[in-house]
Amino acid sequence: MTRIFALSTISALSALLTCAMLATPAFAGDFQSAEAVLANFKSEPTVNDIQQMVLEYSKTDNRYVEGWLAASKSAALLPEVKVQYDYDNGYGQDFDYTDGTATSETLSGSGIDLKNAVTAYAKWSLSDLVMSSERIRVISETQDVVKLRDKILDEATRLYFDRRRLQVDILMNTGDVKTQIKNELRLQELTAQLDAYTGGRFSKALKKK
Amino acid sequence: MVTQLALHYAAGRAAAAEPAATAAPAADAIPLALSLEPVPFAQTRVWEEVAQPGGSGALVSLSVSRELPGHWLAADEYGAVFLTDDRGGRWTRVLAGRAQDVTSDEQLLLEAEALSEDSFEGVDAADVDAESAAVDRANETTSQALEDHRNAAPTLPPAVWFDRAGVAFASRQDEVWRSTDDGETWSRVDGDGGATAFARVGETLVAGGSNGIRASLDDGASWLDVDGAVDGHTVREISVFAGKFHAATDGGLFESPDALRWTRVLSAPDMPLVSVIADPNYPDGYWLVAERGLYRTDDSGQSFSRFGNQPLKGLRKMVHVGDTGHLLAISVDGVWESMDGGVKWTPASRLLSDPDVRALDFEGGEPVIATAKGVWRMIRPEQLAEATPAVRASMPLALTVQTALTRSGMDGDMLSLAQRSGLLPLIPTLTVQVKYGWQAGRDADFQVLSAAGSRDTAFSATAALCWGACSVSSSYYSYDSESYDVQQMVDDGQLTVIDGNVYDSTAVVAAAANVSQSLSTYRVSTAQQISEAWITRARLLDEPLSGAGTRDQVMHALAVQEIDARLDAWTNGRFSTWQPESP
């Protein structure tokens, strides 16, 4: 097992080394302007693309926040509803007593009484239209989402430009072979980190373009 | 007291636009644009260093002319006085400082070395006893020299002050110099004592120095000593308000009705003071500033109490800026700002690289300071890159911040949570009840052999508004120990968990206040980050790139793009899509 791992590591490094040696890096003097350098990366996703991917993957897009806030507001319009059905079946008999004892009772009349009722209750806590603990909880959660969104967008943006600066260094051939291998590894690391923030969408977009 | 004053200032904000009837002359002298919504300088302005006055010593004093825009005077520690007529664009030395070939510390070391050499003169190195005695003598004489140095009277720092109608004063050591042509030329008017603080009421000029108060009735052409309680004390500031002169000195606070008869305010803190500031919004209130903190009276000086939530180190001066409770203070640790009368302080030092602030004045309502190394003025960030078309075409800073702070989940509507929650007890519960019933009955009478029946239907609707407790309930207290299942109580709606805190579900106001506070903190932090990013971007765009290598140009372009992307993240992409409106 260890041997296989060692072999695979060696072969991966060899591949990197070969890539680094076979690559035909440009030199700083080959580029006349910053635009000419940056034009080499036109086929890659832009930073705006990355930010959209991050928002999509993390579900922190503004529309979610707006949806929660709107739902928490409109939720108070719905009342607390109660429906009640009452059924009352009454039956009664009248007796006459001639000598005051139970043995002398005579059925003199009877009556039945059937009652049905359906009652619907609706209750609105009007104060919930202004503020409620649920709404405060939603607001608190949306704040957390905004903070999270700011944080991950900031981090993804930083990674994107760290990666781009590194690409410029690689393109403009600053460093020996060892440095180039280090740069390649770092590039892969940054790509993997961006993939982590975008759920793999970044690499997929790289392949597509 | 602190809370009361904070509330006073919170309430006073609404009335901030009304000028105070008892505004102090010192505060009146600062031209200010009052606004309904006081905005801290720190939120809208940054520091920009102007040209160096050019002296070899640290700056110690600064004064801005009230009558001639752009005319500033500055003095360095050696007494050199500099004048600018274009807001610090170019300075001219109008008074030379004293010779300063060595600093006082270096002088002391040279003296000590000479004394040691004297002690060893003629001592035979082989004579151990003689050498030991010489060492003792050297130690003794240098110790004495050091002690003398420590006990020497402190040197009065130079000071400059623009008076009225072209008159200006400069104090150096024990001399007062006067200029009658807006600081261009100077002549010595008093050699009997310098001054660190000046004030004018009508035709009376008052100056405070290292030995009390001096006064002049002829526009400073001649000065007279005012004998009194202030003698022997160094005056740091003189303010005139509430019909009295007030002098903050190293021996406490003194006051006088006429600048001639001075008495010590015994209730004031017995410690060196640097400033005394009237509160134009509270007739009986004023602040005292000591080097290590702030004191306040609300009863015209009958009692003072320590003020402020945080310690402020090495305070040198404080001013009331104009809006209710808006204070600005300078210290060895930068510029500080309070919007609530001194309860809470926040730094106002953005882009100020030298925190050792020595003097403060105002030009057109904008602060100007002298630090040990230079003169700085506060400007709006947009002014940083006025000449750069790329910056002009960008979304302005204020709009960028506003856009970021009004995103869903961040907007000011949330900030009124607690306020709105206070209305909850006034809002009723509406209950609507609709009832439909039908009834059928039959009665039989066997004696008369008759039967009767009935069939009824009924419909009713009731609407009720109810304030407070809307159902009758009873409760009793149980003294048995019970275990509570918090999760169950949360599920039952008795408790609410918000942001990790557990609240009684009826305590909406407390929860709302907590959420509001958390949001406010994040809004401030975001605004600061955005401002810094925006300003850095403006600086980058303003940097000349001619001559830079291709790689530097690429890195520069990437740096700008990265900031744009971050600003886009904060503004939901509106920063880069913003278009200036056509004029």
Give the tokens for residue B151: 């006990």
Beta-bridged to residue B370, according to DSSP, are B359, B375
How far are the Cα atoms of A110, A111, B255 from residue B440, in angstroms, in the given order? 14, 11, 97
Chain A residues with CB-CB distance to B522 below 8 A: 143, 146-147
Interface test with B, best of A133, A143, A172, A173 (most B CBs within 10 A): A133
B490 close to A (CB below 8 A): no
Q: Cβ–Cβ of A145/B409 closer than 8 Å?
A: yes
Chain B residues with CB-CB distance to A158 below 8 A: 562
B210 close to A (CB below 8 A): no
Three-state DSSP state, B209: strand
Query: Which is it for the CA torsion B307, B310, B314, B318, positive or negative?
Result: negative
Asked if B361 and B355 count as a contact pair (C-beta separation under 8 A), the reply is no
The pLDDT confidence band at residue A5, using thresholds 50, 70 and 90, is: very low
Contacts 24+ apart (CB under 8 A), B344-349: B344/B308, B344/B309, B344/B310, B345/B308, B345/B309, B345/B310, B345/B312, B346/B40, B346/B42, B347/B42, B348/B40, B348/B41, B348/B42, B348/B45, B349/B42, B349/B47
d(CA B354, CA B362): 19
Strand ranges (DSSP E) for chain A?
80-97, 105-125
Query: CA torsion, points A162, A166, A167, A173, in degrees to nearest 10?
Result: 160
How much of chain A exceeds pLDDT 70, in percent? 83
According to the model, what pLDDT value does residue B484 have? 64
Chain B residues with CB-CB distance to A153 below 8 A: 566, 569
Q: Using CA coordinates, name the residue in chain B closest to A156.
A: B566
Contacts 24+ apart (CB under 8 A), B522-528: B522/A143, B522/A146, B522/A147, B522/B410, B523/B405, B523/B410, B523/B415, B526/A150, B526/B404, B526/B405, B526/B410, B526/B570, B527/B43, B527/B401, B527/B404, B527/B405
- State ipTM: 0.72
* pTM exceeds cut of 0.80: no
Q: Cβ–Cβ of A140/B499 closer than 8 Å?
A: yes
According to the model, what pLDDT value does residue B63 have? 92
Q: Cβ–Cβ of A136/B417 closer than 8 Å?
A: yes
B521 CB-near residues (< 8 Å, 6+ apart): none
Give the tokens for residue A198: 């975008």
DSSP H or E segment with residue B287:
strand B286-290
According to the model, what pLDDT value does residue B567 have? 95
Q: Cβ–Cβ of B409/A113 closer than 8 Å?
A: no
Q: Cβ–Cβ of B408/A66 closer than 8 Å?
A: yes
Chain B residues with CB-CB distance to A140 below 8 A: 498-499, 515, 518
B574 CB-near residues (< 8 Å, 6+ apart): B395, B403, B568
Across the interface, of B424, B445, B458, the residue whose CB is closest to A108 is: B445
Across the interface, of A62, A112, A158, the residue whose CB is closest to B572 is: A62
According to the model, what pLDDT value does residue A30 have? 65
- Stretch A140-161: mean pLDDT: 92
Beta-bridged to residue B241, according to DSSP, are B244
Three-state DSSP state, B133: helix
Chain B residues with CB-CB distance to A33 below 8 A: 550, 553
Query: How do the domains of chain A map onto residue ranges?
Result: 17-75+128-208, 80-123
d(CA B576, CA A155): 19
Beta-bridged to residue B214, according to DSSP, are B207, B225
According to the model, what pLDDT value does residue A149 have? 93
The answer, yes or no, to whether residue A63 has pLDDT greater than 60, is: yes
Q: Cβ–Cβ of A147/B522 closer than 8 Å?
A: yes
Give the tokens for residue B24: 């102090």
Across the interface, of A32, A90, A111, the residue whose CB is closest to B444 is: A111
Q: Cβ–Cβ of B562/A157 closer than 8 Å?
A: yes
**What class does CATH assign to B2-102+153-379?**
mainly beta
Which pLDDT tens digits describe chain B residue by residue (583 residues)? Answer: 333 433 344 333 333 333 333 333 333 333 333 334 567 887 778 888 888 887 778 888 999 998 888 899 999 888 889 999 888 888 988 888 765 444 556 666 777 777 777 777 777 767 778 777 877 877 777 777 777 666 555 567 889 999 887 889 998 877 889 998 888 899 888 777 778 888 888 888 888 888 788 888 888 888 888 878 888 888 899 998 888 899 999 889 999 888 888 899 988 888 889 999 988 888 888 999 987 788 989 888 888 888 876 677 788 889 988 777 888 999 888 898 888 888 888 888 877 878 889 999 998 888 999 998 889 988 876 665 554 566 667 888 888 988 998 888 787 565 566 566 667 777 888 889 999 999 999 888 888 888 888 888 999 999 988 887 665 444 444 455 556 676 777 776 666 666 566 666 566 667 777 777 788 788 888 888 898 898 888 888 877 676 778 888 889 999 999 999 999 999 988 998 888 764 4
**How far does B556 lie from chain A, in Å, by closest CA?**
9
Query: CA torsion, points A180, A185, A190, A196, in degrees to nearest 10?
Result: 160
How much of chain A exceeds pLDDT 90, in percent? 39
Interface test with A, best of B401, B406, B408 (most A CBs within 10 A): B408
Beta-bridged to residue B226, according to DSSP, are B213
Query: Which is it for the CA torsion B545, B548, B550, B552, positive or negative?
Result: negative
According to the model, what pLDDT value does residue B472 have? 47
Q: Cβ–Cβ of B565/A108 closer than 8 Å?
A: no
Across the interface, of A123, A130, A161, the residue whose CB is closest to B429 is: A123
According to the model, what pLDDT value does residue A22 have? 44
Asked if B157 and B61 count as a contact pair (C-beta separation under 8 A), the reply is yes
Q: How far is CA B426 from the centre of its chain?
A: 39
Q: Using CA coordinates, name the residue in chain B closest to A96.
A: B447
How far are the Cα atoms of B6, B12, B323 from residue B20, in angstroms, in the given order? 18, 11, 10
Three-state DSSP state, A2: helix
Q: Cβ–Cβ of A132/B508 closer than 8 Å?
A: yes
More confident residue, A27 or B332: B332
B518 close to A (CB below 8 A): yes
Across the interface, of B409, B417, B446, the residue whose CB is closest to A109 is: B446
Give the tokens for residue B292: 């290590």
According to the model, what pLDDT value does residue B383 have? 63
Three-state DSSP state, B318: strand
Strand ranges (DSSP E) for B324-478?
327-331, 334-338, 346-347, 357-363, 366-371, 375-379, 429-445, 450-466
CA atoms within 13 A on the CB side of A10: 6
Q: Using CA coordinates, name the residue in chain B closest to A111.
A: B443
Q: Using CA coordinates, name the residue in chain B closest to A130.
A: B420
DSSP codes, B23-74: --HHHHTS-----SS---HHHH-EEEE------SSPEEEEEE-SSSTT-EEE
Asked if B552 and A169 count as a contact pair (C-beta separation under 8 A), the reply is no
| Burial (Cβ within 10 Å: 0-12, 13-18, ≥19) of residue A181 | middle
How far are the Cα atoms of B72, B78, B81, B166, B168 from residue B92, in angstroms, in the given order? 11, 16, 9, 17, 15
- Stretch A77-86: mean pLDDT: 91
Interface test with A, best of B431, B447, B554 (most A CBs within 10 A): B554
| Burial (Cβ within 10 Å: 0-12, 13-18, ≥19) of residue B388 | middle
Chain B residues with CB-CB distance to A139 below 8 A: 409, 414, 417, 515
Asked if B284 and B300 count as a contact pair (C-beta separation under 8 A), the reply is yes
Work out the end-to-end distance of chain A between its first and last CA atoms, rounded to an integer number of angstroms.
Answer: 38
According to the model, what pLDDT value does residue A6 have? 44
Across the interface, of B407, B420, B498, the residue whose CB is closest to A131 is: B420
B556 close to A (CB below 8 A): yes
CA atoms within 13 A on the CB side of B293: 14
| Burial (Cβ within 10 Å: 0-12, 13-18, ≥19) of residue B72 | buried
The pLDDT confidence band at residue A10, using thresholds 50, 70 and 90, is: very low
d(CA B217, CA B200): 10
How far are the Cα atoms of A50, A148, A187, A201, B561 from residue A161, in angstroms, in the given order? 11, 20, 11, 17, 9
Across the interface, of A34, A112, A150, the residue whose CB is closest to B550 is: A34
Cβ-based contacts under 8 A for chains A and B: 196
